[in-house]
C-alpha cells in the first residue's frame, strides 16, 4: 500500500533509470541515464540539500528555525531553498552572475536571500569559486548562521550512497561503468564507493571541463559548464575515487545537451551533456557487451534563457 507524502521533501529520490535509444555508442553498448530531473526542483541536489539539513538538525548543530548559509553555483542553492522553506530555516545564499538567471530567480522565489559575487564576464573560475566561499563564511561568522559548506560537507555522502543503491537495484546488479562530472566531488565519491561495495570491478570515470582539467593535471581555467569544474582540487576529492578522468569541452557539452533534447526528448543542462559525451567515449572502449550508467543532473528548464540565446545566434 502506497503512503502519500507528508511534504514535498518526501518525493525526493527514487528517480527512474532510462536507457538511451538514439544517442548511443556505435558498437552496441548500452547507455543508461539516471533521471535526476524528476526530483522536486528538477535536480539531483535535492538529495544532498535534505541530507545537509537533516543531519545537523538531528545532532543539534542546526537549531529549530536556525539560519543557514551556503555558497552555490545554482542547483544546490535552489535545493537548499526548497528544503529550508519547508523546514522554516532562514537561508542566505552566495552565488554569482556567472550562473543561470533561472536558478537565481528560483532561489529567490523559494524565499532565499541572495548575495551575488561578480564574475569575469560570466565565466566560472577558481577565483570566483573561492571568492564565493570566502563571502559565505564571512556571513556565517558575522551572523552565527549554520554554514552547510558543500565543498567539504560529508553529511551529503549518505544521500549519494542511497542513490547508488537505487542504481544497483535498477540495473539488476549489471553495471560495468559509472560516469559522472565532478563539482564538489561528493556525488562521484559517494556513488562510486557504494557501487564498489556491491561489486569491486565497476569502472568509475570522472568528468571535468577540458578548459579547467585540474584533476587530471591540467591548468585551471574558465569554462561555462554550470555546477562542475571548481578550478582547483576540491577538498572531497581523492585520486582513488575514479579509475580515469575524461575531459569535455564546454561547446561539446552544450552540443550534446541539444542533441539529447532533439533525439531523446530529454531537456537537460550542460553538465548532463558532459556526462553523456564522456559516457559514449567510455562505452566505445569497453565494448559491445558493456552497460554504462551516467546521470541526468537536472532539467534544461534551469538554462532556458541561456540556451535560447545560443539558438538565436
Question: Tens digit of pLDDT for each residue in 282-309?
Answer: 999 999 999 999 999 999 888 887 776 6
Q: In the prediction, which pLDDT does 73 show?
A: 81
Q: How many CB atoms lie within 10 A of CB 53?
A: 25
Q: In the prediction, which pLDDT does 311 show?
A: 63
Q: In the prediction, which pLDDT does 54 show?
A: 98
Q: In the prediction, which pLDDT does 309 show?
A: 67
Low-confidence ranges of the chain (pLDDT < 70): 1-2, 308-313
User: 219 exposed, middle or buried (CB, 10 Å; 0-12, 13-18, 19+)?
Assistant: exposed
* One domain, residues 31 and 101: no
Q: In the prediction, which pLDDT does 226 show?
A: 85
Question: Crossing angle for the helix pair 75-87 and 101-109, nearest 10 degrees?
Answer: 10
Q: In the prediction, which pLDDT does 124 show?
A: 83
Please state, in angstroms and rounded to a whole number, the distance separating the CA atoms of residues 79 and 91.
11
Q: In the prediction, which pLDDT does 86 show?
A: 98
Give the domain extent around 12: 8-38+158-312
Write down which residue in 111, 128, 147 finishes a domain: 147
* One domain, residues 34 and 69: no
**How many Cα atoms are found within 13 Å in the side-chain-facing hemisphere of 84?**
33
* One domain, residues 125 and 175: no
In this prediction the pTM is 0.93
63 backbone dihedrals φ, ψ, rounded to 5°: -80, 160
Please state, in angstroms and rounded to a whole number, the distance separating the CA atoms of residues 131 and 276.
30
Contact 177, 204 (CB under 8 A): yes
Give a yes or no: residue 210 inside a domain. Answer: yes
Give a yes or no: residue 190 inside a domain. Answer: yes
* One domain, residues 214 and 284: yes
Give a yes or no: residue 1 inside a domain. Answer: no
* One domain, residues 17 and 141: no
Can you tell me whether residue 24 is helix, strand or coil?
A: coil
* One domain, residues 142 and 164: no
* One domain, residues 90 and 163: no
| Residues 6+ positions from 121 with CB-CB distance below 8 Å | none
| Residues 6+ positions from 307 with CB-CB distance below 8 Å | 254, 257, 258, 300
Give a yes or no: residue 3 inside a domain. Answer: no
Strand order through the sheet with 68-71: 113-117, 91-96, 68-71, 146-147
Q: In the prediction, which pLDDT does 6 show?
A: 92
The residues facing 146 across adjacent strands are 68
Please state, in angstroms and rounded to a whole number, the distance separating the CA atoms of residues 14 and 78.
19
Give a yes or no: residue 153 inside a domain. Answer: no
Contact 53, 69 (CB under 8 A): no
Give a yes or no: residue 152 inside a domain. Answer: no
Q: In the prediction, which pLDDT does 100 show?
A: 82
Gyration radius from the chain CA atoms: 18
* One domain, residues 212 and 195: yes
Domains in the chain, number:
2
| Residues 6+ positions from 200 with CB-CB distance below 8 Å | none
User: What CATH number does residue 84 fall under?
Assistant: 3.40.50.1100
Write down which residue in 118, 147, 176 finishes a domain: 147
* One domain, residues 276 and 179: yes
Q: In the prediction, which pLDDT does 101 show?
A: 87
DSSP 123: B
* One domain, residues 264 and 306: yes
* One domain, residues 23 and 63: no
* One domain, residues 169 and 277: yes
Amino acid at each position: 500500500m502506497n503512503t502519500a507524502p507528508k511534504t514535498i521533501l518526501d518525493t525526493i529520490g527514487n528517480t527512474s533509470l532510462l536507457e538511451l535509444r538514439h544517442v548511443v555508442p556505435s558498437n552496441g553498448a548500452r547507455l543508461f541515464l539516471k533521471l535526476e530531473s524528476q526530483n522536486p526542483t528538477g535536480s539531483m541536489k535535492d538529495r544532498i540539500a535534505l541530507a545537509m539539513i537533516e543531519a545537523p538538525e538531528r545532532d543539534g548543530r542546526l537549531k529549530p528555525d536556525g539560519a543557514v548559509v551556503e555558497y552555490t553555483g545554482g542547483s544546490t542553492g535552489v535545493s537548499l531553498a526548497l528544503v529550508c522553506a519547508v523546514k522554516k530555516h532562514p537561508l542566505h545564499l552566495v552565488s554569482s552572475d556567472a550562473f543561470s538567471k533561472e536558478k537565481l530567480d528560483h532561489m529567490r522565489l523559494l524565499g532565499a536571500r541572495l548575495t551575488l559575487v561578480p564574475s569575469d564576464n560570466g565565466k566560472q573560475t577558481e577565483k570566483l569559486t573561492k571568492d564565493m566561499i570566502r563571502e559565505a563564511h564571512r556571513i556565517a561568522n558575522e551572523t552565527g548562521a549554520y554554514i552547510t559548506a558543500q565543498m567539504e560537507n560529508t553529511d551529503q555522502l549518505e544521500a549519494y550512497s542511497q542513490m547508488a543503491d537505487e542504481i544497483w537495484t535498477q540495473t539488476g546488479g549489471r553495471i560495468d561503468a559509472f560516469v559522472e562530472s565532478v563539482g564538489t566531488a561528493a556525488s562521484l565519491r559517494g556513488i562510486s564507493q557504494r557501487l564498489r561495495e556491491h561489486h569491486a570491478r565497476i569502472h568509475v570515470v570522472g568528468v571535468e571541463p577540458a578548459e579547467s582539467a585540474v584533476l587530471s593535471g591540467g591548468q585551471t581555467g574558465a569554462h561555462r559548464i554550470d555546477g562542475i569544474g571548481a578550478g582547483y582540487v576540491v577538498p572531497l576529492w581523492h585520486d582513488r575515487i575514479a579509475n580515469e578522468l575524461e575531459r569535455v569541452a564546454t561547446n561539446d557539452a552544450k552540443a550534446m545537451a541539444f542533441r539529447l533534447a532533439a533525439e531523446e526528448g530529454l531537456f537537460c543542462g550542460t553538465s548532463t551533456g558532459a556526462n553523456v559525451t564522456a559516457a559514449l567515449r567510455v562505452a566505445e572502449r569497453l565494448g559491445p557487451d558493456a552497460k554504462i550508467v551516467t546521470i541526468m543532473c537536472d532539467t534544461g528548464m534551469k538554462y532556458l534563457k541561456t540556451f535560447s540565446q545560443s539558438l538565436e545566434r
